[in-house]
Structure 1
């Protein structure tokens, strides 16, 4: 019998402990975290999608850039979102993307994508707490505006 060469898949995650735990309780807390990592030179130029990875105490494990699009759209692959969250041993996530147009409101596509990711999170027992839309002048929280199903 011929021996098959099969790829072995292994997962590794090495957490670098931050100087202090940054806890996210409110949408403003999430916005502060995102503003600290978002490239201000690109926020009005290209649409980007990121996730905040949270532990069981809602402390930030990290922020991951999921995708970068053009000036008006960004493709989000749920498999990448949840593979990233699972690899980081995240207990919950917060979604975020920017609107280079400066419009601080959720589009129908934004709402549909968010609902799909919320459902995916439910299947994995990984709540999606919020989806923030950022511009250079502020943010819009889908949770605060009751657009995230509970």
Structure 2
């Protein structure tokens, strides 16, 4: 391949490379501070679709700064009646994009049973280990129903 053909090949090849965009914006007009599991539960319950909380399992991630001021709520996944996907890589990529210092993982149990499953315990351990590598604090993992919640932090399971 001569030099001119090689240059044309490089130019063509680089035009087809995907561009990665990172964006985050915040509204600092109101400050919500999450000091405990109860305030976190109240916040997330007000941002949950009450019509499906007993029908479909979902997971969300709450992002906070170092002072536990709310940065945002990320709708991570919607699943079926008995489970939903919690992808640690997606959680951490969102946390890094919005400069979060701490996160709360929250998911519902449509059955109304607040007892954590083995899968709940495993994902909590996995997420905590991954967060530690990036100096992000997993503050809590809440399992919620429309009337109550279970806090891994309150139960010393973190």
Range into which the TM-score falls when normalised by the shorter chain: over 0.9
What is the rounded CA distance, in whole Å, between the counterparts of 1:108 and 1:9 in structure 2? 36
Deviation larger for 76-85 or 2-11: 2-11
**Among residues 27, 40, 43, which one is paired with 2:50 in the alignment?**
40
Residue 80 of structure 1: CA displacement? 1.0
Runs of 4+ aligned structure 1 residues displaced above 3 Å come to: none
Aligned Cα root-mean-square deviation (Å): 1.0
What is the rounded CA distance, in whole Å, between the counterparts of 2:98 and 2:46 in structure 1? 20
Residue 20 of structure 1: CA displacement? 2.3
Question: How does the TM-score come out when normalised to structure 2?
Answer: 0.90
User: Which sections of structure 2, spanning at least 5 residues, go unmatched?
Assistant: 1-5
Tell me the equivalent position of 1:106.
Answer: 116
User: Does the 8 A contact of 2:60 with 2:74 survive in 1?
Assistant: yes
Question: How does the TM-score come out when normalised to structure 1?
Answer: 0.94
Tell me the equivalent position of 1:74.
Answer: 84
Work out which of the two has the higher radius of gyration on C-alpha atoms and give 1 or 2: 2
Deviations 1:79-120 (A, max 9, x none): 111111111111110010000000011111100001000001
**Among residues 93, 103, 106, which one is paired with 1:93 in the alignment?**
103
What is the rounded CA distance, in whole Å, between the counterparts of 1:21 and 1:77 in structure 2? 28
Residue 56 of structure 1: CA displacement? 1.4
Question: Alignment partner of 1:32: what SS?
Answer: helix
Question: Alignment partner of 1:82: what SS?
Answer: helix
